[in-house]
Structure 1
């Protein structure tokens, strides 16, 4: 009976949408009820339709809560990021699942004005003709290695992000990867519930981060940082502040001693979800002529994937371009989104 109820609930949300399904469950007393949102998410995430968003999953759980819990939930302003964290905590204890960290996406058409070919020309001694259109993709995962380090809070993760720029359409130079940035990270993350100006501080993180392009000689770029991140949210709006401290290197071994002049000491970000569309912005050194701006838009497309448009203008699109201003526009799909 319980299995049939779960399958019905998942099918209802898939066919009719979370809102219609929610009304139907209110009128059906035979459906299960849960004492908490966490318990409902834990069970229903295993049976949800593949194209359900986290917000829809949460919405479909709300009418299944016991009356006392439902009244408490109505008095709270639960944000989309808070719900993602609950779903992640469910998945992280499954050793067959690698949890997404940053966005996972592929942009088959990423157009760049005046691609920076100077470092490659210098390295090979001959002119290198880079194409304006390439493939931009990112793979980002994390795994939980220690849990509840601060009583019932504080998790330690090992994360890895690979961001690549592939000259896949450039047959004249054997379709090389123009640049690949590797970013392993040891990350400590703790949740929070304090509020300021109506925003809830949902999570605070600190991590040891290495970033390198894996090259040698004149093409080598790398740096090490201690990076923090604090995230606030209010309903469908999330804001993030990420300061960092660069770990000093021996000047003789430093491939990019002036990288902080271009990438600065912090990053600001924001994202807003509206009608299953997500709009996001990122900026570094916003009041400097060496700053950068990135705008993103993801939207419903097909089950398991979403359309994704990304625009970048400024310095630091990749490590090889940290001191060169570039402008690019990419179109593709995102597999795991911000929330």
Structure 2
């Protein structure tokens, strides 16, 4: 037998044996078609076609599972929820957000923002008009027959000029406030400005250390402050009214309530330059302001008093509400009521009741 034939027979025998061995395990087409469950029938066809399913490779114990967030469907409710979370970032303290007391509320220097309420009240009614202003050192002046209905507006800005000065998180602020009474409904007298007051301030704010903040009743002591302020009506004698003072203040909060207190120490002036030596006897030496911010509305009640004569001083109530519900920090309806002495510097020793309505803008 030729060598090639001798080598061919063993090879054919080996292939036949392999074929016979595998024939018992390979299903036929008829066998697959007779299987009931669809998944088992599909597996049979795959095996018949030589496509054995591959087993999944198990992950290592310390290997993280692949993220499916990119493939997950977008949740329409997630956007508002995320926006709400972003909107509550910071310390959560009303006074800290206003004065940037805590590190998470800091916004840097020279960012101008609102200070006192910025408002325009086209309708402002006063019970009395001071047509003969005077003071112990100034002569009586006769003013025109101003109308009791006028407009009142206030512009008030502030900016931080130094951060973390001398004490951790203590800041220095500059502020300026201008308040005006405008006889806009008095066309007979060419709509003059009845009074305008100007007040620049330099304020040093010191946050209360965390170990001293918590007080009984859930009250938090937030800050102390010392400031230098000048206020003037910008007039010449005998209508000139002005004073310089150093004031010391502090602030507390509990939930949606805040309480601020301030004591004014007037800097002495000579008798030749003091336009209103008895100003604090009428307007008061101290101030208390209670504010409530519940929902979109805000309400502030301010009391000024010398604390030794309850018949003097003044009381002021302010209320605001958003004009557009989706813009609470935008334009707001604004209402103000006043009773007592010193609504303006010219009227520091003149008592009146007033009420005004309009809009406020540029919140802090």
Common fold: TM-score over 0.5: yes
How many residue pairs end up in the alignment?
Answer: 277
1:37-48 matches, within 5 Å, as: none
For each residue in 1:255-299, what CA deviation from the matched residue of structure 2 results, as whole angstroms up to 9, or x when unmatched? 101101111211011000112111110011276111211011111
1: CA distance, partners of 2:358 / 2:219: 32
What is aligned with 2:193? 177
Q: CA deviation at 1:94?
A: 6.2
Conserved 8 A contact 2:101-2:207: no
Structure 1 residue ranges without an equivalent (≥5): 1-7, 26-30, 32-36, 45-56, 63-72
**1:149 equivalent in alignment to 2:149:** no
Q: CA deviation at 1:119?
A: 2.8
**1:21 equivalent in alignment to 2:37:** no
**1:333 equivalent in alignment to 2:333:** no
What is aligned with 1:224? 244
**1:317 equivalent in alignment to 2:337:** no
Conserved 8 A contact 2:126-2:355: yes
2: CA distance, partners of 1:276 / 1:127: 42
What is aligned with 2:273? 253
User: Which of 85, 93, 104 is 2:108 aligned to?
Assistant: 93
Conserved 8 A contact 2:313-2:340: yes
For each residue in 1:158-180, what CA deviation from the matched residue of structure 2 results, as whole angstroms up to 9, or x when unmatched? 21111111111111112111111
What is aligned with 2:156? 140
Conserved 8 A contact 1:299-1:306: yes
2: CA distance, partners of 1:298 / 1:94: 28
Q: CA deviation at 1:20?
A: 8.9
User: Which of 119, 125, 128 is 1:105 aligned to?
Assistant: 119
User: Which of 96, 110, 114 is 1:82 aligned to?
Assistant: 96
1: CA distance, partners of 2:284 / 2:167: 35
2: CA distance, partners of 1:240 / 1:228: 11
What is aligned with 1:28? none
Structure 2 residue matching 1:83: 3-state secondary structure: helix
1: CA distance, partners of 2:101 / 2:122: 30
Structure with greater helix share of residues? 1
Q: 1:244 to 1:237 in 2, by over 3 A?
A: same
Q: CA deviation at 1:325?
A: 0.3
Conserved 8 A contact 1:134-1:167: yes
**1:187 equivalent in alignment to 2:206:** no
The alignment's TM-score, normalised by the length of structure 1, stands at 0.74
Q: 1:306 to 1:125 in 2, by over 3 A?
A: closer
Give the structure with higher Rg (CA).
2
For each residue in 1:301-328, what CA deviation from the matched residue of structure 2 results, as whole angstroms up to 9, or x when unmatched? 1241111100000001010110000110
RMSD: 3.1
1: CA distance, partners of 2:166 / 2:102: 18
Conserved 8 A contact 2:131-2:142: no
For each residue in 1:110-132, what CA deviation from the matched residue of structure 2 results, as whole angstroms up to 9, or x when unmatched? 11112112139x98976611111
1: CA distance, partners of 2:195 / 2:139: 14
2: CA distance, partners of 1:311 / 1:195: 34
1: CA distance, partners of 2:102 / 2:149: 35
Q: 1:124 to 1:176 in 2, by over 3 A?
A: farther
Q: 1:227 to 1:124 in 2, by over 3 A?
A: closer
What is aligned with 1:65? none
Q: CA deviation at 1:87?
A: 9.8
The alignment's TM-score, normalised by the length of structure 2, stands at 0.69
**1:297 equivalent in alignment to 2:297:** no
Q: 1:325 to 1:87 in 2, by over 3 A?
A: same
1: CA distance, partners of 2:139 / 2:183: 17
Structure 1 residue matching 2:238: 3-state secondary structure: helix
**1:270 equivalent in alignment to 2:281:** no
Conserved 8 A contact 1:79-1:236: no
